Each structure stands twice: as structure tokens, then as C-alpha cells.
Chain A
Amino acid sequence: MTEAESVTNQGVTGKPSGGLDVARIREDFPILARDVYGKPLVYLDNAATSQKPRQVIEALVRYYESYNANIHRAVHCLGEEATAAYEEARAKVARFINAPSPECIVFTRNTTEAINLVAYTWGRANVGPDSGVLLTLLEHHSNIIPWQRVTAEKGASLRYIGITEQQTLDLDGLEKLMDSRTRLLAVTQVSNALGTINPVQKLTAEAHRNGTMVLVDGAQSVPHMPVDVQAMDCDFFAFSSHKMLGPTGVGVLYARPELLEEMEPFLGGGEMIKRVTQEDAIWNDVPWKFEAGTPNIADAIGLGVAIDYLSDLGMENVRAHEMEISEYALRRLRQMEEVMIYGPPDPADRGGVISFNYPDLHPHDIGTVLDRHGVAVRAGHHCAQPLMHHLDVSGTVRASFYVYNTLGEVDVLVDALGQAHAFFSNDTK
């Protein structure tokens, strides 16, 4: 066993962290037992997608083995069971983010589709040549491209809130950027590229004083911290199941009920209608008006089980655990002389995401070396090219943590980084 491996094991079997019993949690994730190139897997790419606990995987199997049926229109037993489970998942989602009712929860494919739904329905009806949309430099492409398309189509303006040297949103000139014509502020709660946590509650209050609606991208917040959409007071909120222990293929759009009522449907077809004649149709009630066609029944049910799993852990504990790991990782990385770390310095101001670079090493080279040590990180632009351009880098290396990560795994990362750096800078080898 190498030194690094023994450290991992200490970390794995070590004391519970931030109120989480990490050793027990790890047993729920079959994938964590596998090797990568003969090394234990150290999975630090959780901001891209999380691993899935056995409970979620088993729920999918149970659905297909025992009550697979189409929902809402079957008169038989299986159909009733499937419908009940699907709608129960919706209710769990609503409770998890403290939405006022399950009817404000629309199931989509992912965050991206949820944002597109808003852009193409509400956005097209509400922005025009004398209005605009305000984004931030910290957005993921999925919260940029839909707004570029809609504002271009409608001749509306598109502006960005910039960032400070500490890589937090620069809110000094906000009054100038957000004026009476700004219809929507679309902002991420946590930056997937830098980890920055944005003050969304404060932003929402300011936007509403200005008569501006707010869409919050919760893809990186809902999996990692307690979220309350009513306290936040946002108008739209989007996130993805696959980043929060749930299956791929399901996303969530929350919207204030009156907004969903007035919005036109996104896609047309089955499920989203009440009555259809040769000429026209009457839309179904919300939220089904926005769920055309057979939805992703199994994976929505799986998301419900992931939510149960996270609720059992307690989102306060999840957040505390990630802060502890981030704090340790920041401390270790800061000890490495040449490493440049991005994002706010205080772990309290950031999610469990750490982006960094070596000045003269390309992120992909680092990522490839780390991979050979069993360490999975992200290397590249993290779907945030405008931000990378602003930082004047082609990309960064990003380590992102979750409930099953340990301090020992941070040691493996740091150790492997040291070796990567030595490998590329050793002129005499």
C-alpha cells in the first residue's frame, strides 16, 4: 500500500465529518469500490454529476420489475401505482425546496431544459426591443445561450453583472445595469466553475423592487445546501436530479403558480391537454400543461428516493461536511507554492468546488496525470467560456466534493498534483 492509499483509508474510516458518517455513506455507493488503473477511485467530479446510492439504483429496478406502466391515463392497477409514485416524487421535490405546493413543480430533462422552457415561453412573451435580460459572468452556458437566443430574436438587450477581484459578483454598479427595462435577472446560486455562492436572496429583493423577475439556477446549490425558494423569493428556479444522487434524465423547474398559469405551453402533445378538437385544444392544468408526452417516470421516482436519502442525512450536515472538506483542501492547496486557486478565499462563501491552475501547466495535462492516480477531476472551461475569457485562462482544474468524499481523498489529490508538477517540470529527467 502506498502512503497515499493508507491516508485514504484513514480518511474513509475516520471520524464522522460535519455530522455525516462518511464510512457508512460510502457503503451505499457501489461504484466507490472500484479501481481505476489499479488505484482506488477518488471521485472529485461531483459538480459534473454525482454518483448514485444503492437505494436509488434499486428504486429504478423495483419500478421496472414491479409497477412499470404509463401514468395519468391507465385504468389498471400498475398505472395507478406508477402515477401515485410519480406524483409522490413531485411532492417530495416541492417539500425539499419548500415550494408552496407540488403544482409549482414541473419535471423536465435537466436544468438546461428547465431554463429553455422559461426562455421560450415566458421569455418570448415578455422581452422585446425596449427591454432586456440581465445575466452574470458566473453563469453556466445553459443559463446564457437560451437568453442569447431569445434576446437576439426579440431585439432585446443582454447585459452581464461582472465579478470582483475576489471573484464574487460585482454589485457596485447594479443600479446602472438593472433599470426599468430589465425584465429578468437570471443568476446562478452557486458558480459551478469557481464555487462562488451568490447572494440570491438580496438580489431577488433588489430585482423585485425594480419590477424585475428572477430566475435562479440551482444546479449547484440544491444538491449541497438547504434551499428554500419561498425565503429566496425567486420567480423561477431550476436544477438537475443527476447532480444530487438521483438518476440522469430528470430536471426540475419551480415557478410561482401564477406564472405557470399565465405561461404558454412549451411543447405540445399528449398529457398536456384537456380536450382537443380538429382546430384547437384546451391546455391541461399546471404543472401537466408543461409535461407533454410520456415523462421520465422511473427517473423522477428515483429522484424522489435521492431526496429521501439527502433528507435523512440532513442538508445542514451535508453543507457542514463539504465546508470542512473544502477548508482542508484549500489549506493543503495553499501550501503548494505555485498553485493558483480561484474563487472567494473563505469556505463560508463557496460551495464544495475548488478551481485551480499551475501557472505553466495546462489543465488537461494535470487532469490526465491525476486520472492515472485514480483521481477524477474536471479540466477545462466548465461550460463557462465568458468567465474563463474574463479570467484570461483556457480553463482550470476543478475538484468538487460531495457527501462521500473524505479528507484522505484530498491528500491523494494533493499528492498526485505534486507528482504531476514534478513530472512536467523535471528538465533533467
Chain B
Amino acid sequence: MGRPGAGYGTVSGSGAGPLPDPELDPERTRAGRIPRRCFLSGPSPSARRLPASPLEPMDFWQYLEAVLYIVRGSGYTAGLILGAMSLGLAIGLPVASVQVYGPRWLARIFRVYVWFFRGIPIVVLLFLIYFGVYSAAENFAFERFGLRLDLSPFSASLLALGLASGAYQSQIFRGAILSLPRGQYTAAMSLGFQQRLALTRIVLPQAHRVAHPAWSNEYSILLKDSAVAYILGTLEIMARTKFMAAYTYKHIPFYILAGLLYFALTWLGVRGLRFLERKTRIPGLGHEF
């Protein structure tokens, strides 16, 4: 029962000879199955060029190979963060709207959601979803419909990060909505708007501008939180770095590289959001530059 050991088993099998490919590792894919590829996966590293033993020195090409292998992880990290931020946005906006203007009973339900997902660490959430929810879902699908689902650690990470971010984002937007004068909503209702349209056409377009700085902060935090996804064996930057560092014993250069990659992604994202903020700016609303 349970899911295959994640992330750890990959290094152990490496005596001499070809490097165990984490994407082909038999421990990570159950016996007899064709190894599945995540949608962002590139070709698996032609790691065979790496030295047979950690004690051998590495030449330039071997370094390059290792570096490229880690850099390709940014694709996974970027996909993870984009997906999780979008999921968080899709959850956060309606939750915030309901908490301020919606029916009391629904607001109460959402409050429990926010408590739960803000209250537990993302690592715990990752394990709960991957080993708990996913296993249950796979077993259920197999016993009920004979379907062999193989839910990827990538999607489990995305779900965990997205659900957690949704809880945080809802509070970012709740603050933004509360900071708008209530008269904006009242005025819309007085013109005969349906409540949903008053929210989507009047309240939220203003709230998202007010929330922008806090939202880009959430992006930079979540990006770095996404590093814990390595623990399920999602092949993002951190997992690849850890693998490479452990295999070659060259920790410092590879972790510096990982740091630089995270820094670059943060910088790019924050710059991009700042650009959007400037593009959507409206005189008298939100922040002047």
C-alpha cells in the first residue's frame, strides 16, 4: 500500500556505470508500467556522460551536462508556480467576495477552508495529498472502474501549493475589497446590477489593482515555497539540484546555481507583475509611481 518512496531512492542504486535516471527509476514507477512523463518533461538527462563515481573529477562537458539538467528544472518550477498561482487566484477571488458581500453560511464554510490551509505547513499538505488523497483516488478508481490512474507528484504539488495559496490570496483580496468604499458596491446595486455582476464588474477590478503589491509578494513567497515539492520527487529545480549534488559531492556550485535560478525566476516574475501593474494603472486608484 502507499506510494513509492519519493525522491530518496534515486541516488542509492548508483554503484558504477550509468547514472540512474530519476525519470526512469523503477522505484518511482510501479513495476510493469511504462514510465509516465509529466507534461513539462524534456528528454531525460543523458547522464551517462557523468563520471562513474563521485570521486572522479568532472570535466567541462560533464559540468555543462549537470548544469543543463538542473536548469531544465526551471520549466517544472515555472509550471508549478504558474499553475498554483492561477489556482490560488481562482479560489481566492470568489472566497474573498463571499467573505465580504456573500451569504453568511457560505462565508463561514470558506473561513474553515482558510483556517485549515493557512494552519498547516505545505510539506504536510504535500504528503497528505500525495499519499492520502491521491492513493485513495487511485484505489477507488481501480476498484470501482478498473481504471489505472497514475496521478503525478507534479499535479499533487500543484494542488497543494494552489490550495494553500488560495487561502492566502483570499485574505489579500478580502483586505483589498474592504479597503474600497462600500459605496462602490452600493452604487452598483442601486443601478440594478445583479450581485455577481456588481462584484465582477465594479468591485473586483478595483480590488485587484489595490491588491497588486501584496499579490506579487505572494508570488515571490510561493515560488520559493515550491522548492519543497522536491520531496515528492517532482522534477523541479530543487529535486534536480539535490540529486546532482548528492551524486557528485559537489554541493556548493550546484546549490549556488539553484539559488541563482530561484532568484532569476523571482526577479522575472516580479518585474513582469510590476509591468502589468503599470499597464493597468488608473489615475487615482492604487499606487502612484
Chain A complexes with chain B: no
Interfacial residues, chain A to chain B (CB-CB below 8 A): none
Contacts from B to A (Cβ < 8 Å):
none
